[in-house]
Amino acid sequence: MARRYTSKLTYDDVTPEHLFLNRRQIMAGAGGLLGAGLIGGAEPARAQGALEPNSWEEITTYNNYYEFGTGKSDPADNAHTLTTSPWAVEIDGLVDNPGTYSMEDILSEVEIEERIYRFRCVEAWSMVVPWNGFELADLLNRVGVQDGARYVAFETALRPDEMPGVRVPVLDWPYREGLRLDEAMHPLTMMATGIYGRDIPNQNGAPMRLVVPWKYGFKSIKSIVRITLTEDEPPTSWNMANASEYGFYSNVNPNVPHRRWSQDSEREIGGGLFARRQPTLMFNGYEEEVASLYEGMDLNANF
Instruction: Determine contact, residues 192/133, Cβ cutoff 8 Å.
Output: yes
The predicted pLDDT at position 14 comes to: 44
Segment 232-244 shows an average pLDDT of 98
Angle at 229 between CA 161 and CA 64, to 5 degrees: 40
Q: Enumerate the known binding-site residues.
A: 63, 66-67, 121, 156, 204, 209, 220-222
Each residue of 168-197: pLDDT tens digit? 999 999 999 999 999 999 999 999 999 999
* Nearest by Cα to 188 from 17, 63, 40: 40
As a three-state string, the secondary structure of the chain is CCCCCCCCCCHHHCCCHHHHCCHHHHHHHHCCCCCCCCCCCCHHHHHCCCCCCCCHHHHHHCCCCHHHCCCCCHHHHHHHHCCCCCCEEEEEECECCCEEEEHHHHHCCCCCEEEEEEEECCCCEEEEEEEEEEEHHHHHHHHCECCCCCEEEEEECCCCCCCHHHHCCCCCCCCEEEEEHHHHCCCCCEEEEEECCEECCHHHCCCCEEECCCECHHHCCCCEEEEEEECCCCCCHHHHHCCCCCCCCCECCCCCCECCECCCEEEECCCCCCCCCEECCHHHHCHHHHHHHHCCCCCCCCC
Choose between 42 and 227: higher pLDDT. 227
Q: Over 60: is that where the pLDDT of 36 sits?
A: no
Segment 222-250 shows an average pLDDT of 98
Segment 6-25 shows an average pLDDT of 45
Q: Enumerate the known binding-site residues for Mo-molybdopterin.
A: 63, 66-67, 121, 156, 204, 209, 220-222
Rounded CA separation 174/118 (Å): 27
Segment 113-134 shows an average pLDDT of 97
The predicted pLDDT at position 69 comes to: 97
Segment 127-132 shows an average pLDDT of 97
Name the CATH code of domain 13-294 (choices 3.40.50.2300, 3.90.420.10, 3.30.360.10, 3.40.50.10470). 3.90.420.10
Question: Poorest-confidence range of 19-28, 72-81, 138-147, 164-173?
Answer: 19-28
**Global confidence as pTM:** 0.86
The predicted pLDDT at position 259 comes to: 94
The predicted pLDDT at position 275 comes to: 74
Segment 246-259 shows an average pLDDT of 97
